[in-house]
Every structure is written in structure tokens, then in C-alpha cells.
Structure 1
Amino acid sequence: MAKSAARSWRSKVTKVITIVQTKGGAGKTTTAMLLASAALDAGRRVTLIDGDVNAQLGRWRDSFELANWEAIKKPVWPEALTILSPPETVEGLLALLEEEEARGVDMVIIDTRPGTHTDTEDFCLISDLVLIPARPVFAEWEMTHRAVIWMDDLRASIATGERFPAVRVLVIDAGAKIIDAAIREGGLNLLPKRDQDVLGEILKLDHLDVIVPHSKILEQMGFHGPLGPAAVANGRAAGGRLMADAINRQLEVARNVLAGIDAAVLH
């Protein structure tokens, strides 16, 4: 059934992005929230599908609604952002995608559960792009490598010439030293040997040309909700300018992630 899914979904309008990793806590949900924020900021209609076991993405709106913003007037949840649970079958998923396209959704972002599961492969095969978040630390390099090999094996399992999504790695939650090393000529030599090796191996993979820095904003996405409305609300409030600036910096990173995805999908 998974193999036929790749041939069943075609759309020039609605783009499907599936986020995978082989281990929990790898930044998949944060990546989904970040990408949704950028797409909303670009005026797109977005649907999130929470296929992870912990359902953190599915609770995003509830977490936002329950958050106490104290003196700052909290914005309303954007009408252009919908969060759904995944259907139980491939046929149900394809029907859902057709419904979302019919109502004008521009981007569907699918968060998946950890591990190498058949249902995750189904999500991947109906996607335009598979995104693999990668923290550039030695302890998590193996799972990124495993996820890339998994996608390579999945590509090899379908017939020659059949459609297969683009696959990109996104370096996420990187410290200032890692970012400096990545962008500076010869900067890798400034890192400890183990960090050099990990970052160097990640950058050899097909990756988006953007690094998402470590940020308290990322850790508190459940509190802030989508970044654009949060930045506006804080910017209008007395004493909220510093927070608005911090959110806007993270939103600019999100825009760069979206630009990289757009380029990969159109390539």
C-alpha cells in the first residue's frame, strides 16, 4: 500500500512536508511549528497533521489558549492554521489532502512518530519534501545518519522513475560556536574534534542552507503560538519590545527555512 501512495497524490497547489527522525525529542514538532509560523507569515493557509505519539503538536492551540500572557493582549489563533489528527489509512490520508486542497490550503505539514514505521513511509511517499531535523551534537548524529539511510532505502524500494520526494536535513538548535564555525571560512577548525566531525558529516548531506539557532523562543513555542501574531502582540504592548525583537529574529530564521523548502520543492 505504501508503494502505491507515491503515485496517488499530485498537486500543483498544496505542498506536503513530512518531518521525520528515528528518535523522540529530536526537534520534529518544533520544526513543524517554526515552518508553520513562516508559512502563515507569508500569507499561506496551513494544515498541521500530528502523527506523533505524544501529540504535542496537536495540543499546540490548547497550550497557547491556556498560556497566561499577563499584561499583554494575546492574539486570536490564526484562522489560516488548522491542526488535525492523521487518518488511519492511506486512502483516508489521500482523501484528507484532497479536502484540504479544495478549501485552499497551501501547505500541509506532517509530524511523525519516532522510529522507522510503515505509516511514516506512507506519509513520506505522498510528500513533496521530507525534512530531517538534525541537532549538530555527537550524541544525536547517529539517528540523523540512520534517518537519511532509511530514506535512501525507501527510495530504492520503489520502481525506477516513480516519483519520490526531495529529502533535506535541517540543522536545528545550534549554539553560537557551531553557527560561527559553519559560516566562517575555516571555522570548523575552531571546534573540538568531535564537533568538527559531526558538523562536517551533516553538511555533506543534502541540507537546507540555513541553521536554526538555539533559542528560548523555540523552547516556548507552545506558550507563544505562531510567531508572527506573537511578535505583533508583544510589539504593541508596553515593555514588550525586547520580546517582540527576539520573536522577530526567530521568525526571520523561519522565513529562511521556508525559502529553502520552496527552493527544494521547485527544484
Structure 2
Amino acid sequence: MAAKAVTIAQQKGGAGKTTIAAQLAVAFARAGRRVGLLDIDPQGSLAAWYDIRKALVEETGGGITFVQASGWRLSTELERLKRDVDLVLIDSPPHAETEVRIAVRAADLILVPMQPSPMDLWATGPTLDMARKEKSPALMVFNRTPSRGKLVDAVRKKIKDSEVPVAQTVLGNRVAFAASMMEGKGVVESNPSHTATKEIKALADEIAGILGLD
């Protein structure tokens, strides 16, 4: 079966794209899948995490193949990566329309993370418009979500009214995610019993179901 590609995209910075990409990559790899990580963000945060991972965890990346690419190399590197793995996760920059458009066009699913706030909701517009133009299915996911409050329900209703699919899984505002990244790990490795681990595993399972990876 040809590898599937998931592009994590959101125009607003600070939505947690890189953290979600790394955490999902580890979750899928620990579930026995061959995972590719493609970093197209010039900031290179995912590359920095992967360097720590190779130095402190496993020189092989622990079942994760990492590639950093941009510009004209992007499509070539993506196709090459897809030949060697089961799933490619693409971490995209907030502002680089050409690269993001290529990544959105090539994806089987666009994962759009957002914090439950009006600013994040408004910022999803350009990404969702791009997904529609490229005929790429999108899934919004709440990230860094407070444990309580009516704002989540209010934002979820606004999204529902726009008929954009929203992930059942909600990622909480968990320090454990960031702490594991500091160690070059995913939370499923650093703290297997933590609530954050249950959340990221649930999101991975939800994505696998959508992509037919079960």
C-alpha cells in the first residue's frame, strides 16, 4: 500500500504544529509503523528535536526517518520518502504559501491544530480555503486546550456551523508534551501512563481510521 501523507498546517504561529508532528511520529512509530517526518519550516524546530533524538535516544531515530526540504526539492523529497515509509507527517511553516500549497496538495489529510480561541479560529480560514482549492480533506484538532471552560464548546459550535470536520480527540494544555520534546522523545516514551499519552495515542488512532491504516 502506498504511503499516506498528513500535512500539519495552520497560518497562525504558536498553534503547536511542530509538537504535534513529533508526538504523532513517535506514537505511530511505537505502534509499529514506518514513519517519515518532513520538515518544510525554515525555523527548523523539528530538525532540532530530531537531532536531540538521535543523540540521546536512538541514532536511527527510533523508527522515524527525517528529511528537511524546501522549494523545488520539496516534491522530490516527499516522493522519495513515501517509497520507504508507511506514513509521512509534514510540518509546515505559518507563512510560505508555495511550500505549504505543495504540501497541502500532496496530502491525504490536512491536520489543522488550533487553540480554542477566536484568534486561532479566524486564522484557520486561509488554510482551510487552500485545502478546499486543492481538494484535500481537512481535520481540525483542538490543541493546548484548558481543562475547563465554555469557550471550547462555543468555538466547537462555530466550527460545526461551518461544516468543517473536528477531531473527537482534544489535546490538553500539557507540560508533558514539551518536557518530552526536550529529551528528544515523545510523551508515549517519556511518560507512558500520562493523560497526554492517552490523548496523542487517541489522535493517532483517529487519524489512522480516517486514512484507512487500521
Q: TM-score range by the shorter chain?
A: 0.7 to 0.9
Residue type at the aligned position of 1:170: V
The answer for the alignment partner of 1:245 in structure 2 is 193
SS at match of 2:2: coil
Structure 1: segments with no counterpart, 5+ residues: 1-11, 67-73, 156-163, 179-190, 232-243
Residue type at the aligned position of 1:100: L
- Residues 1-267 of structure 1 correspond to what in structure 2 (within 5 A)? 12-64=1-53, 75-76=57-58, 78-89=61-72, 92-103=73-84, 105-115=85-95, 117-152=97-132, 154-155=133-134, 164-178=135-149, 191=150, 196-204=153-161, 205-224=164-183, 225-231=185-191, 244-246=192-194, 249-266=195-212
Q: Structure 1 residues 218 and 202, CA, compared in 2 at 3 Å: closer, same or farther?
A: farther
- Whether the aligned pair in 1 keeps the contact of 2:105 and 2:131 (CA below 8 Å) is no
SS at match of 2:170: strand
Pairwise CA distance, 1:218:
1.8
| Percent of aligned pairs sharing the same letter | 22
4+ runs deviating over 4 angstroms: none
C-alpha separation between the residues in 2 aligned to 1:63 and 1:134? 26
**Whose Rg is larger?**
1
- Whether the aligned pair in 1 keeps the contact of 2:70 and 2:99 (CA below 8 Å) is no
SS at match of 1:211: coil
Please give the TM-score of this superposition, normalised by the length of structure 1.
0.70
- Whether the aligned pair in 2 keeps the contact of 1:129 and 1:165 (CA below 8 Å) is yes
Length, aligned pairs only: 209
C-alpha separation between the residues in 1 aligned to 2:70 and 2:152? 40
- Whether the aligned pair in 2 keeps the contact of 1:29 and 1:111 (CA below 8 Å) is yes
